[in-house]
Amino acid sequence: MQKNYVSNSEESIRMFKSNLIERLSKVHFAVPLFIFIPAIFIFIYKAFTAGAGILNFGLYFVIGLSVWTLTEYIMHRFIFHYHPTSAFGKKMHFIFHGVHHDYPRDKMRLVLPPSVSIPLAAAFYFLFASFLAPKLLFSFFPGFLLGYLIYDMLHYAMHHHNFKSGIMKSIKQHHMLHHYQDPDKGYGVSSSLWDIILRSGFKKDSQKR
């Protein structure tokens, strides 16, 4: 994705003529916490009432968390960075991700708004429900949701917080290189694991710079 413009303003640009749709496209970064933390605990409760044991629950919870990291990578690389050729496709691309690259510090468009995150979470839930037994689903899905929540909170923090921890500074640097050096590399946001495995990360000399 070629960058023609990058703003460092924290203000939001208007994207839609409709006031309602414009409001639905924005969200305070804390809103996902109020939506998905209760959902995570509800699924954990349902897992144990469905008969999941501690070890079984822990295993599938970690698998769910791991599957999120791959899902995050695939969506970012192959959906958000898909290069459409039609005028409509380019417009949709800008709405879903291009605006973030043009306005990376926009405080109101750094986490997914509920108008997108809730339907997307429901779609994933029904996908996993199609092949997982209830006690496995209720163990797996809260891990998947926690992975998404970590991604959302980390993504916001990367654009608005200066980390002192070596690990967090490294994670932020990986994402900043994606924004300011090469948007066709560094697709992992909460983790660079899949960039390493699939060789889409940055060379060490780029990381040092």
pLDDT digits (tens, 9 = 90+) for 66-95: 999 999 999 999 999 998 889 888 888 888
Residue 205 Cα distances to 68, 177, 201, 202, 208, angstroms = 29, 12, 12, 8, 5
How far, rounded to the nearest angstrom, does the alpha carbon of residue 188 sit from its chain's CA centroid? 9
Report how far residue 154's alpha carbon sits from residue 160's, in angstroms, rounded to the nearest whole number. Answer: 10
14 in Cβ contact with 21 (< 8 Å)? no
Which pLDDT score, from 0 to 100, does residue 84 have? 87
Phi, psi of 195 (to 5 degrees): -65, -35
Report how far residue 36's alpha carbon sits from residue 41's, in angstroms, rounded to the nearest whole number. Answer: 9
Average pLDDT on 170-174 reads 89
Q: Is the pTM of this model over 0.85?
A: yes
Q: What are the sequence ranges of the domains in the chain? A: 29-164
Which pLDDT score, from 0 to 100, does residue 208 have? 52
